[in-house]
Structure 1
């Protein structure tokens, strides 16, 4: 079995709450992100971009997202409010993966989104290969236009996911996976 196949068979997410320092250093992060953007890209549109959230900026982002959430949902109190307030504080680095949809392109929107999703997955896979932990999260903030404005997104852009990166602080067991036999069929005419 090749190392690449073994890597695919072992990759799993590490919950953001269980990620701590260190995050990849700048050189490692640059190499990881350069590799992550090597995705199938019909029409060479590059329908994605990345936004890093770290240190104090990450904390400020979380506070502003919480404020937006409270305005949009005044009933958000207690544990839900605290969850929102701390969502971006656990992992030392968060990468917002952003889809940039070109509505005038011959390339269908779904293919542009899938291309962006591949970037997000490559970050997860690359982080695991490098010995880091990562989790792809969305939540309401990924779909909120006020949060999009906070990130400086254009009207044709939206968050596909927030990738939380860091070093696992505990051993995380793999979850149960579906069996291939339950998912695979062969089409015949």
Structure 2
């Protein structure tokens, strides 16, 4: 097999940009559709496609953010003004936000855990597809990914779970490196090289 140096370089330098450090322009519909096609090319035991996408664009991001903020403020009426602003901009920081929604369900052959991991693979592929199109991306979950009261606002159906919100836009700052795990701490070798 031939080594793909460009792909190795990309993976060696892949980093996320915080959503609040993204701006317009974002991808158009055709670019988003291409990104979603690429994101869907993941390991998927049983070919179940146990995930789907919800794409948030335009003014709907502000409307949904405001509805989410109402829940957050009702739960914590003493939120600081800064946190109220954060809550009111949850889906409007980047020009496009894509929810990757896990539709994992009991199956006679494919464990739900494998279905959930497939949705996680979709999230990573979507990050990389956005980068391949020249956009910054970030995978976030945040509180409303786990709050059933937010699901109808977000378009998430009963029985589904949010694997992540992928924020996509133009980076306003260059990405910065962060500490990465030391392989000695995370790798166990079994057997001899052969």
TM-score normalised by the shorter chain: which range applies?
A: over 0.9
| 1:57 counterpart = 2:60 | yes
Which residue among 16, 20, 23 is the counterpart of 1:13? 16
Task: Measure the CA separation in 2 of the matches of 1:160 and 1:118.
Answer: 10
CA distance in 2, matches of 1:105, 1:152: 28
Aligned to 1:135: 138
Normalised to the residue count of structure 2, the TM-score between the two structures is 0.90
> 50-59 vs 76-85, which deviates more?
76-85
- Show the counterpart of 1:82: 85
Alignment of 1:1-189 (within 5 A): 2-188=5-191
Question: Does structure 2 conserve the Cα–Cα contact (< 8 Å) formed by 1:18 and 1:168?
Answer: yes
Whole-angstrom CA distance in 2 between matches of 1:22 and 1:105: 45
Q: SS where residue 145 of structure 1 aligns?
A: coil
Q: Give SS of 1:186's match.
A: coil
Distance 1:156 1:105, change over 3 A: farther
> Per-residue deviation at 1:180?
2.1
- Tell me how large the CA RMSD over aligned residues is: 1.7
Kindly tell me the number of residue pairs found equivalent between the two proteins: 189
2:116 is paired with a residue whose SS is helix
Q: How many angstroms does 1:105 deviate by?
A: 4.2
Structure 1 runs (4+) deviating above 4 angstroms are none
Segments of 5+ residues of structure 1 without an aligned counterpart are: none
8 Å Cα contact 1:33-1:123 kept in structure 2:
yes
User: Residue 162 and residue 84 in structure 1: after superposition, are their counterparts in 2 closer, same or farther (change >3 A)?
Assistant: same
SS in 2 for 1:146: coil
Unaligned segments of structure 2, at least 5 residues: none
Q: Give TM-score scaled by structure 1 length.
A: 0.93
- 1:67-112 deviation line (CA, Å, top 9, x unaligned): 1222233343432222111222221000011000212443111111
The range that moved more, 65-74 or 83-92, is 65-74
- Per-residue CA distance 1:46-85 (angstroms, 9 max, x = gap): 1100001111101101001111222233343432222111
